[in-house]
Structure 1
Amino acid sequence: MLRIVGLRMVPGVRGGLLVSRMLPRMCSAQNYTTNASEEPPLPWDTYLRLRKQRRMVGIVATIPTMLLTAVFSGSYFLTQEVEPGQMLFGIDPLFVNIGATLACVGAGWLIGPSIGNVAWSLFHRHKAAQIAQRDRQFYQHIRKMRADPSRQVMHNPVPDYYGEKIGSLHAYRQWLRDQVRFLHELTGI
């Protein structure tokens, strides 16, 4: 015997007893109002672990980008012929070429985290929507819970204003304690 429960058919149900017990689990209204392609949100500990991993990959990616830009810019700028009497911008050409090489290495240092984040995102494509949803929730919560930066001074800045170093629930709790401590130091309570 088949009975229709909501939009599902439950085989072998008699008298409705099983239906009343299984109804909250099987046929919640939320299942029918959401899209079938949506996945449940990521647990917070998993999200924070992935966030920490993404940050670490971005930091580690700076090393090869700095080395590559140093090698390529150095092989170009430092092999240029320099005439001893000719000045560039009123400076010795050797110093200009060294400065250009260092500027390229600095650009590699700035580009590294972006390249690392793109590489990390390629490996976690299947969770991109869930991570984006948690990112929005996380940053809204950080914005709500952080200390007021208008009261900071040079020797006492707001600790981890953007919550960049939060990588676990323990680190998040510590961040909350640091925010409260910062407020208490300012008010003297």
Structure 2
Amino acid sequence: MMFLRNIGIFNRSLLQRSVRFNSNSTFKINWPEYFRLKKINNRLNVGSGAVTGTMGVLMTLGGLANVEIDPEKPILGLDPMITFVGLLLIGGLLGYLVGPTFGNTIFKLSYKKHLPQYNAMDKIFLQKVKVNRVNPSSQSFSNPVPDYYGERIYSLKDYKQWLRDCNAFRRKSQEFL
């Protein structure tokens, strides 16, 4: 716990904030709860991306099923099968990119009561990542940058490991300059 106090993740003034709603109850969110909600949000985004990507492929396939082709004539200068596979991939990719919009909407509707504090904690967490992340200008194949945006941090254990990795990166970049 001393280590976490020194790095400032357990700053009392930031953790004591509570959001008041119309009722008499207050909801307090702590770091483990924040990381749990962050993981749920990520899983919803990836899952909805997979669903909408599949829907994009199926819709593209439905549209291409109605097209009459001559197997001997090229489409856009390419073999018709290559063109169709490319269009299926583009449809799936566009569907996958639309997915997180639905995932965020589901998350916001499901966790309405925690959303103000989640957003406040997210802002604090991103500030801490910004302060502690490394300078990527000295990266190499043997010394890659550890998770520059902190996207794979889903627990306090992951955060501490990320800090250790950042310190190791700094040490290696200083030694090998």
TM-score past 0.5 threshold: yes
Q: Which residue of 1 aligns with 2:9?
A: none
- 1:61 is paired with a residue of what secondary structure? helix
Share of identical aligned residues, percent? 30
Residues 82 and 94, structure 1, Cα contact 8 Å, conserved in 2? no
Q: 1:37 Cα deviation (Å)?
A: 4.5
What's 1:158 paired with? 145
Deviates more, 1:92-101 or 1:123-132: 92-101
Query: Unpaired segments of 5 or more residues in structure 1?
Result: 1-33
Once the two structures are TM-superposed, the CA of residue 181 in structure 1 deviates from its matched residue by 0.9
Correspondence for 1:72: 59
How far 1:55 sits from its partner (Å)?
Answer: 0.9
Aligned length: 156
Look up the match of 2:125: 138
Question: Do residues 147 (structure 1) and 134 (structure 2) align?
Answer: yes
Match of 1:18 in 2: none
Aligned counterpart, 2:99: 112
Give structure 2 stretches of 5+ with no counterpart.
1-17
Distance in 2, matches of 1:131 and 1:79, equals: 47
Quick check: 1:78–1:98 contact (8 Å CA) kept in 2? no
Q: Which residue of structure 1 lines up, in the alignment, with residue 157 of structure 2?
A: 170
1:103 corresponds to 2:90:
yes
2-structure distance, mates of 1:181, 1:73: 47
Between Structure 1 and Structure 2, whose CA radius of gyration is higher? 1
User: CA shift at 1:82, angstroms?
Assistant: 0.4
Q: Deviations over 1:57-78 (max 9, x none)?
A: 2122222222211111112124
Q: Deviations over 1:99-131 (max 9, x none)?
A: 111111111222223322221221011221111
Q: Distance in 1 between matches of 2:96 and 2:165?
A: 30
Counterpart Cα distance in 1 of 2:105 and 2:116? 15
C-alpha distance 181-115 of structure 1, shift in aligned 2 (>3 A): same
Shift of 1:137: 0.8
What is aligned with 1:22?
none
Measure the CA separation in 1 of the matches of 2:19 and 2:72: 73
TM-score, normalized by length of structure 1? 0.73
Map of 2:169 onto structure 1? 182
